[in-house]
Amino acid sequence: MSEYFEIIDFIKSIYPDENPVPLHAPRFLGNEKKYLNECVDSTFVSSVGAFVDLFEKEFAKYVGAKYAVAVVNGTAALHVVLKLAGVQNDDEVITQPLTFIATVNSITYCGARPVFIDVDTETMGLSPDALQKFLLNNCRIENKTCINKSTGKKIKACLPMHTFGHPVRIDRIKDICDEWNITLVEDAAESLGSYYNNNHTGTFGKVGIFSFNGNKIITSGGGGAIVTNDELLAKKAKYITTTAKIPHKWEFVHDEVGYNYRMPNINAALLCAQLENLEKFLESKRKLAGLYSKLFRSHNMKFFNEPANAKSNYWLNSVILNDRIRRDEFLESTNNNGVMTRPIWKLMNKLEMFKDCQAGELKNALWLAERVVNIPSSVIVK
């Protein structure tokens, strides 16, 4: 395992002041404290305040959507957008097994069941070829609704995730979903600053979501956002994330089940400052990816570069080892020597609560799950 020492020393040289070197630490380099103080002085620290409104306006502008709705975290955003897509109890939602648990948890929050479809090795995200194959072999259109022939249930939505910020072939997925009358919802939690065919991720489907957890490129501690070009959906999202309260000066009347999911103003203050430095952060990440690509090429290891027709944010950089044994050796060597690395997630269909869910052939997902390792990816501070 001494062969990894050069890699470990290189990573430590990039982050000389961090021991151990974290996988992804937040950077607060701008107006964060200033805006937080302004928020505290205003006394509007909860779900109403100027910073929430400002962030929604600026974020929608950045990703190229007409509307943005700020919420408490990415998981809450996923729950809401699936509700907006009409997902109900006993429906099915197509997604990928290689993803963070929130993607699949949000489906179950709606009382629906996930159907797992394979990923592309070039993107680590949902494969349009596998999607089309599954639909042709297992589904039919009945009364303009996609029906799963083996379960008799409606396939209401498709939820691809842009893994580690690398865009899936989302245009092809959208075409397939349109053909089969399936609502496309994008999990862009990890892909702020990523583009496919010059359009920002999260804007191809009916609705999309982003996350601002503490390990994301920009953070509000927690936090998430819903984006859409549909005015009615945006208004509905804001309404049900503020407990579905009918506006009134003093009365508390609610006309449907809502959720207390609105982002607090104090979190939005932090996020507004972070957004101001996003382009600087993205530039640093692309520089880091270039350094890693050169480093791992010299060690005959595959660094995961952005897919064709895409511009990735390189949120979490990844390397692909030859097999599971080599992967585990790399993980042990790095973590034992002050460099945090981690394997990719355990496949969702391998978890106890989802093991009985329907799945297509998952050859690529299985292959990647045994080989992919994330390496330190924090913005470089000089």
- 161 and 300 part of one domain: no
CATH number at residue 292: 3.90.1150.10
CATH number of the domain to which 129 belongs: 3.40.640.10
Q: At what angle do helices 74-84 and 231-240 cross, to 10 degrees?
A: 120
Instruction: Compute the C-alpha angle 188/51/284, nearest 5°.
Output: 50
In a domain, 382, yes or no: no
How many structural domains is the chain composed of?
Answer: 2
292 touches 344 (CB < 8 A) = no
Q: Quick one: 353 and 258 in the same domain?
A: no
Examine the fold and report which residue of 225, 241, 276 is the final residue of a domain before the chain moves on.
Answer: 276
> Same domain, yes or no, for 161 and 95?
yes
State the pTM of this model.
Answer: 0.96
Residues 286 and 183 in one domain: no
Q: Tokens for 298?
A: 């010299």
pLDDT tens sequence for the chain (382 residues): 667 999 999 999 999 999 999 999 999 999 999 999 999 999 999 988 999 999 999 999 999 999 999 999 999 999 999 999 999 999 999 999 999 999 999 999 999 999 999 999 999 999 999 999 999 999 999 999 999 999 999 999 999 999 999 999 999 999 999 999 999 999 999 999 999 999 999 999 999 999 999 999 999 999 999 999 999 999 999 999 999 999 888 999 999 999 999 999 999 999 999 999 999 999 999 999 999 999 999 888 999 999 999 999 999 999 999 999 999 999 999 999 999 999 999 999 999 999 999 999 999 999 999 999 999 999 998 7
Residue 14 and residue 40 in one domain: no
Asked if residue 197 and residue 124 are part of one domain, the reply reads yes
Q: Do 270 and 304 belong to one domain? A: no
Tell whether 355 is covered by a domain. Answer: yes
Quick one: which of 287, 312, 361, 285 has its CA closest to 123? 312
Distance CA 311, CA 167 (A): 8
Which residue, among 198, 212, 218, 211, has the nearest Cα to 30 in the 3D structure?
A: 218
> What's the domain range around 304?
2-27+278-375
Q: Out of 276, 297, 312, pick the residue that ends a domain.
A: 276
**pLDDT in the model for residue 1:** 60
Query: Same structural domain for residues 282 and 367?
Result: yes
Q: Is residue 53 located within the same domain as residue 145?
A: yes
Clarify whether residues 67 and 179 are in a common domain: yes
For residue 325, the model assigns a pLDDT of 96
Last residue of a domain, one of 215, 241, 276: 276
